Amino acid sequence: MQEMIEKKSEKIKRNILLNPGPATTTDSVKMAQIVPDICPREKEFASMMKKMRDDLVRIVHGDPNKYTAVLFCGSGTINIDICLNSLLPAEKKILIINNGAYSTRAAEICAYYNLPYIDLKFPVDELPDLDKIEAILKDNPDIALVHTTHNETGTGILNPIREIGALAHRYGAVFTVDTTSTYAMRPIDIEKENIDFCMASAQKGLMAMTGLSFIVGNTEIIQKSAVYPKRSYYCNLYLQYHFFETTGEMHFTPPVQTIYATRQALDEYFAEGEQAKWERHLSVFEAIHAGLDKLGFRDIIKRELQAGLVVSVKYPEDANWDFEKIHDYCYERGFTIYPGKISTQDTFRLCALGAITAQDIADFFVVFEQALREYHVQIPVYYKEADSQRKAGL
Ligand X SMILES: *Cc1c(COP(=O)(O)O)cnc(C)c1O
| Residue 282 beta carbon to ligand X: minimum distance, rounded to whole angstroms | 18
Ranges within 120-149 binding ligand X (CB under 6 A): 149
| Residue 145 beta carbon to ligand X: minimum distance, rounded to whole angstroms | 17
CB 147 within 8 A of CB 177: yes
Looking from the CA of 359 toward its CB, the CA atoms found within 13 Å total: 1
255 binds ligand X (CB under 6 A): no
153 binds ligand X (CB under 6 A): yes
Three-state DSSP state, 72: strand
Closer residue to ligand X in complex, CB, 118/199: 199
| Residue 354 beta carbon to ligand X: minimum distance, rounded to whole angstroms | 13
Ranges within 38-77 binding ligand X (CB under 6 A): 75-77
Q: Determine how β-strand 310-314 pairs with β-strand 347-351.
A: antiparallel
Alpha-carbon gap, residue 394 to 381, rounded angstroms: 20
Alpha-carbon gap, residue 330 to 184, rounded angstroms: 28
Closer residue to ligand X in complex, CB, 210/257: 210
114: which DSSP letter?
T
| Residue 245 beta carbon to ligand X: minimum distance, rounded to whole angstroms | 26
| Residue 152 beta carbon to ligand X: minimum distance, rounded to whole angstroms | 7
Closer residue to ligand X in complex, CB, 68/180: 180
Q: Which of 159, 181, 240, 306 binds ligand X (CB under 6 A)?
A: 181
201 binds ligand X (CB under 6 A): yes
Backbone Cα Rg of the chain: 22
Ranges within 261-320 binding ligand X (CB under 6 A): none
Residue window 92-111: x/- pattern of binding to ligand X, with contact defined by CB under 6 A:
----------x---------
Query: Minimal CB distance to ligand X: which residue?
Result: 76
Burial of 43 (0-12, 13-18, 19+ CB in 10 A): exposed
Q: Which of 86, 180, 264, 347 binds ligand X (CB under 6 A)?
A: 180
Cα 312–chain centre separation: 15
Three state DSSP letters for 275-304? HHHHHHHHHHHHHHHHHHHHHCCCECCCHH
| Residue 149 beta carbon to ligand X: minimum distance, rounded to whole angstroms | 5
Alpha-carbon gap, residue 364 to 274, rounded angstroms: 26
| Residue 74 beta carbon to ligand X: minimum distance, rounded to whole angstroms | 8
Q: Which of 18, 20, 70, 308 binds ligand X (CB under 6 A)?
A: 20
Closest CA to 40 of 249, 201, 214, 242: 249
Closer residue to ligand X in complex, CB, 178/249: 178
CB 150 within 8 A of CB 74: no
Stretches 30-38, 173-181, 220-228, 232-240: which one binds ligand X (CB under 6 A)? 173-181
- Site size toward ligand X, by CB under 6 A: 12
Closest CA to 244 of 277, 286, 207, 216: 216
Cα 67–chain centre separation: 20
Summarize as ranges the residues that interact with ligand X (CB under 6 A): 20-21, 75-77, 102, 149, 153, 178, 180-181, 201
